[in-house]
């Protein structure tokens, strides 16, 4: 085990105090820590804990912070380092601004923005709800009113806000108000959260242009709402595409296939429409 005893013991203590830890997870963690505190062999206690957590870990059914802990004690490469959230709490520089978009699972909303020049940071989180410091389980359960979203900090010398909104439309289905593609539920609803009147005017005009473009048969239902507190998600969710590339690729492929099929339908529909109009003029 590469992690030292002091770090793991500290992790156990922090998880016991973490309000997001489930009661049954906490009971297993407490038993391991108590055993270590009482002089039991450290490696034996951690190995026992790993075995007890393994069935749920294999089914991706541990809470995010406990998942990170499990990956660390099993020396899984996906564990990685803690994501640096300091940029989220800093004031924006003279050439920095922020955009907040909700478009289904935030796992699939990071890489399309973060890998482009001029994007300073993309943070996964929760916003638009009525509760402070929400956890993933609370948001996923629909208890807080939040949606999964990404906060994009960008260089205004490279990007106009309008361009980010246009990229957002390409990544989502703006006709689906009950989720996005395979992600169902109010916590996955599509929303553009605007920070000021300028962003609101740009987003509203872009939405109107999209509605008038004829690209979609159904109404554009993506909401445009004032930005509220953005709560960064647990470390496990940050830069998911880097930590879990195989799982991310499957999700990305499924999403791209749906959007590609939707675009193909649009081309066919608009093509038939042009053909009908042409025949009417002859």
SS (H, E, C) the chain: CCCCHHHHHHHHHHHHHCCCCCHHHHHHHHHHHHHHHCCCCHHHHHHHHHHHHHHHHHCCCCCHHHHHHHHHHCCCHHHCCCCCCHHHHCCCCCCEEEEEEECCCHHHCCHHHHCCCCEEEEEEEEECCCCCCCCHHHHHCCCCCCEEEEEEEEECCCCCHHHHHHHHHHHCCCCCCCEECCEECHHHCCEEEECCHHHHHHHHHHHHHHHHCCCCCCCCCCEEEECCCCEECCHHHCCHHHHCHHHHHHHHHHHHHHHHHHHHHHHHHHHHHHHHHHHHCC
The pLDDT, as a whole number, for residue 1 is: 45
pLDDT band at 266 (very low <50, low <70, confident <90, very high): confident
Neighbour-count burial of 46, counting CB atoms closer than 10 A to its CB (0-12 exposed, 13-18 middle, 19+ buried): buried
* 55-83 mean pLDDT: 87
Q: pTM, whole model, 2 decimals?
A: 0.85
pLDDT at 57: 92
pLDDT at 77 over 80: no
pLDDT for the residue 271: 72
Can you tell me the distance from the alpha carbon of 64 to that of 93, in angstroms, rounded to the nearest whole number? 31
Kindly indicate the confidence band of residue 45, based on its pLDDT and cuts at 50, 70 and 90.
very high
What percentage of residues in the chain have a pLDDT greater than 90? 79
Distances (CA, A) of 102 to 5, 168, 271, 281: 40, 9, 31, 44
**How large is the average pLDDT for residues 29-52?**
95
Q: In this predicted structure, what is the pLDDT of residue 279?
A: 66
Angstrom CA distances, 259 to 163, 171, 174, stand at: 19, 8, 11
| Terminal C-alpha separation, the chain | 78
Share of the chain above pLDDT 70, in %: 94
pLDDT in tens, 99-109: 999 999 999 99
- Mean pLDDT, the chain, rounded, equals 92
Domains of the chain: 5-79 (no CATH), 86-240 (3.30.1060.10)
- For residue 2, is pLDDT > 60? no
Res 221: pLDDT: 96
Task: Give the mean pLDDT of 43-62.
Answer: 93
pLDDT at res. 282: 55
Query: Do the beta carbons of residue 207 and residue 101 sit within 8 Å?
Result: no
- CA 185, CA 183: separation in Å to the nearest integer? 7
For residue 186, pLDDT over 80 is answered with yes
Question: What's the confidence (pLDDT) of residue 273?
Answer: 67
pLDDT at 270 over 90: no
Give the residue, 159 or 1, on which the prediction is more confident: 159
Of residues 83 and 153, more confidence is placed in: 153
Catalytic residue among 8, 62, 105, 119: 105
User: Is 108 noted as a catalytic residue in this protein?
Assistant: no
CA distance 112 to 166: 12
Read off the pLDDT of each residue in 17-24 and give the average, rounded to a whole number: 94
């Amino acid at each position: 085990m590469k992690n030292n005893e002091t770090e793991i013991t500290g992790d156990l203590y922090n998880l016991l105090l973490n309000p997001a830890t489930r009661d049954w997870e906490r009971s297993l963690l407490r038993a391991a820590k108590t055993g270590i505190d009482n002089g039991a062999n450290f490696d034996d206690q951690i190995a026992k804990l790993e075995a007890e957590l393994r069935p749920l870990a294999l089914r991706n059914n541990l809470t995010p912070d406990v998942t990170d802990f499990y990956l660390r004690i099993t020396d899984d490469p996906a564990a990685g380092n803690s994501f640096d959230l300091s940029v989220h709490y800093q004031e924006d520089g003279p050439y920095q601004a922020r955009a907040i978009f909700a478009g289904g699972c935030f796992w699939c909303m990071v890489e399309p923005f973060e890998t482009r020049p001029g994007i300073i940071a993309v943070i996964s989180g929760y916003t638009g709800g009525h509760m402070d410091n929400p956890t993933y389980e609370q948001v996923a359960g629909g208890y807080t009113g939040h949606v999964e979203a990404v906060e994009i900090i960008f260089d205004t010398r490279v990007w106009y806000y309008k361009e980010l909104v246009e990229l957002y439309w390409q990544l989502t289905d703006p006709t689906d108000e009950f989720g996005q593609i395979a992600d169902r539920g109010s916590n996955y609803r599509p929303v553009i959260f605007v920070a000021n009147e300028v962003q609101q005017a740009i987003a509203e005009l872009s939405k109107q242009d999209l509605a008038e473009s004829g690209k979609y048969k159904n109404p554009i239902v993506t909401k445009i709402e004032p930005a509220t507190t953005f709560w960064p998600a647990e470390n496990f969710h940050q830069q998911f595409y880097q930590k879990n590339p195989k799982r991310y690729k499957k999700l990305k492929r499924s999403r791209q296939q749906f959007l590609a099929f939707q675009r193909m339908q649009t081309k066919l529909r608009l093509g038939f429409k042009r053909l009908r109009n042409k025949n009417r003029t002859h």
